[in-house]
Amino acid sequence: MRKKSRKLATLFFAALMAGSALGGCGKKSNNNNENSSAPATSDKTVTESTETSTVTVNTPPSTDVAEEDVPVPAGYHLVWHDEFNGTELNPDDWNYETHEAGWVNHELQEYVPSKDYAYVKDGELVIQPVKTVDENGNTAYFSGRVNTQNKHDYKYGKVEARLKVPTGKGFLPAFWMMPQDEQFYGQWPRCGEIDIMEVLGDSTNTLYGTLHFGEPHKQRQGTFTLTEGNFAEEYHTFAIEWEPGEIRWYCDDVQYFATNDWFTKAGGQIKGKPYPAPFNQPFHVILNVAVGGDWPGNPDDTTPFDERASMKVDYVRFYQKESYDENVEKPVDKLVMREADENGNFIYNGDFSENEDLSDDENWKFILLAGGDGKAEIKNNEIIISSNSEGTEEYSVQLVQPQMPMEKGARYRLSFEACSEEPRQMKIGISAPDVDWIRYFKDTTVELTEEWQEYSFEFKMTEESDDNGRVEFNMGKQGSTATIHIKNVRLEKIEE
């Protein structure tokens, strides 16, 4: 996962959008393994050939476990799986990891190689976070993290797991992959990372699938939101299909995201290794539950540390095709800049004349995360945001519009009118969902009053051009749940 200084909203692709090192993914050092001896294709790309000869990667033969006992997708053979039908985690397959609290992303848990926190029971792998309070009132958190590094590392294939996630504020379960040799292309993110499944413990109906890569760090992300039920109450199957020129993400056999757009570092290659690097090397599986940290936030008094805190994994399976052709074409970025309207405004429906769906990924989107609760309504050419809970993060209650065309060297003006039912603050900014959430226009606090006021800010775009800047109105964790009214939002390019 990426290092989530902020997290996106439900159901948004990379155009949106929590991590670097999430509670299950992100900026990583080498794994410290107790038993290990070693450390829909993007529509914004055109392609160019990077190889002239065919390079074929042959895969291992089928596993010696009877395949008739495990369904095998058409075109694949089963190379490894674990149904967790024994009495303990098999040390020939899995490593326990050891990491101190705060190792990445300001997470609170210590990963301990103990059967107290990762164990097999009733045909499942159980990863169980635990909270302790000593006689002096000091709180500590422990959890399990296991991987298959140097035991089951494969290049390309279909990887899937059927599992159920924990529920509760501050939990971040993850099913993900890192390279067998994390230093081959250099430290994270150049080495690459594939996040197959992440679900926030306080938002268990939304799934995130993410690819991390590059120098500087970039990511591609898709999300999937259940219309009924949630990932904590039912088992679901999470998978990727990983091929030399594309990686696809699935939930219960439904594809919700795909990308072929990645690189190892700026310039597109390193050590003479072209695309599809860094995703042309063996990767291993990791399963863990993080507690607290930058993206999920910390546990609160409502967070359960009982059976509801556990991630239960029914199985993990790895399939491959007989061979893979690495003679693939390298995507080349082709920015598709949004056109301004007839009035020069890059914001669509900035006058709120259309009562649009605020839950989809078109134009305006209203997002609740990290304990935020409320609603948004478009009415009488304004949008009205009513909050019941401000949440634990400034982005817990958020109104956004992505796909802002940010051109390097250009000057812009962001303006809007706003008021609130009582004096309060709100933060605005323009972020870069695809570029590690840097700010094109820094987060800026505005003071709202009961009277309508006009706010206007000018700034120069100093970063590389991007067709997916995101205008944000952040209304969480600012000491008030007073209702906010916004109208006449504009983003326009201005002369020097």
User: What are the pLDDT digits (tens) for 233-253?
Assistant: 999 999 999 999 999 999 999
User: What are the pLDDT digits (tens) for 120-142?
Assistant: 999 999 999 999 999 999 999 99
Scored b (16 or more CB within 10 A) or e, 315-324 reads bbbbbbbeeb
Tokens found for residue 393: 């993060």
At residue 495, the pLDDT reads 80
Q: What is the chain's mean pLDDT, rounded?
A: 86
| 26: pLDDT strictly greater than 70 | no
To which residue do tokens 């006689």 refer? 135
Residues with Cβ within 8 Å of 117's Cβ and at least 6 positions away in sequence, in order, are: 111, 127, 128, 129, 130, 142, 143, 144
Q: What stretches of 53-181 show up as alpha helix (H) in DSSP?
A: none
At residue 331, the pLDDT reads 75
Ordered structural domains, the chain, with CATH: 45-331 (2.60.120.200), 365-494 (2.60.120.260)
User: What are the pLDDT digits (tens) for 198-224?
Assistant: 999 999 999 999 999 988 888 899 999
- Min mean pLDDT across 96-100, 287-291, 335-339 is at 335-339
| 79: pLDDT strictly greater than 90 | yes
Q: pLDDT band for 193, please (50, 70, 90 cuts).
A: very high
Q: pLDDT band for 324, please (50, 70, 90 cuts).
A: very high
Across the chain, which distance is largest between two alpha carbons, in Å? 73
User: What are the pLDDT digits (tens) for 327-336?
Assistant: 998 877 788 9
Q: Nearest CA to 12 among 293, 492, 358, 276?
A: 358
Count of residues making up the chain? 496
The arithmetic mean of pLDDT across residues 377-403, rounded, is 94
Catalytic residues: 193, 198
How many distinct helices (H) and strands (E) make up the chain?
0, 32
Predicted TM-score (pTM) above 0.75? no
